[in-house]
Amino acid sequence: MSEPKRSAMRVADSDRENVARLLYEAMGAGRITAGELETRLDAVYAAKTFAEFEPVVADLSPGGALALSHAVGEERGGRRSFAVMSATTRRFGGPLPSKHVSRAFWGSVRLDLRRARITGSCTIRAVAVMGAVKIVVPEDFALDVRGIGLMGGFGTGRRTGRRSPEAGAPVLRVTGFAWWGSVRVIRKPLEPRRRSLRGRG
């Protein structure tokens, strides 16, 4: 489909959220102010076509709103998770991807890795802008948490597990930053599955 025709296409709520995510990220990096963010968000949520996104993101995205629209599917894959003024919970089972990016903008993301496995290595980049990212890990993961908290917190939280990782344990690396928000990594034992009460007298 040609770009002029795509510009005239109607946008969906998911498209608006993807553009809003770019704006929150730009504010977190200091590229726009909080006042500019509010003004641009008003335009984003009032937009009906991709063409109306163009003046909002022209100075932030090299390809403009059209290029940004192609990235929506990537965010829904196993390597990314995000929340924009909402809450998202993802539970991983099986091998983790080598890299995962988690972003929370005025919202929260919770990643539960207690049933996951690390093959080789895994790095999670967590970004929280006026939001929260919480990563729950099993007791047998070794942790390497290195992030920056700007008027926020970034680090490990209260440990509830009793075991320490053994030598040679798989390593989970967590990097990123929190701006007026928090990124927390906590150990938590896997809750046993409840037995069915059916058939009991």
pLDDT tens digits, 33-86: 877 887 888 888 888 988 888 888 888 865 554 444 444 333 444 577 878 778
Q: Which residues contact 180 (CB under 8 A, 6 or more apart)?
A: 129, 130, 150, 151, 152
Q: Which residues contact 201 (CB under 8 A, 6 or more apart)?
A: none
Report residue 141 as tokens: 């993961």
Q: Which residues contact 77 (CB under 8 A, 6 or more apart)?
A: none
Identify the sign of the CA torsion 50, 54, 59, 63: positive
Give the predicted TM-score (pTM) of the model: 0.58
User: Of all helices (H) and strands (E), which one includes residue 28?
Assistant: helix 13-28
Residues of the chain with pLDDT under 50: 1-4, 65-77, 160-162, 193-201
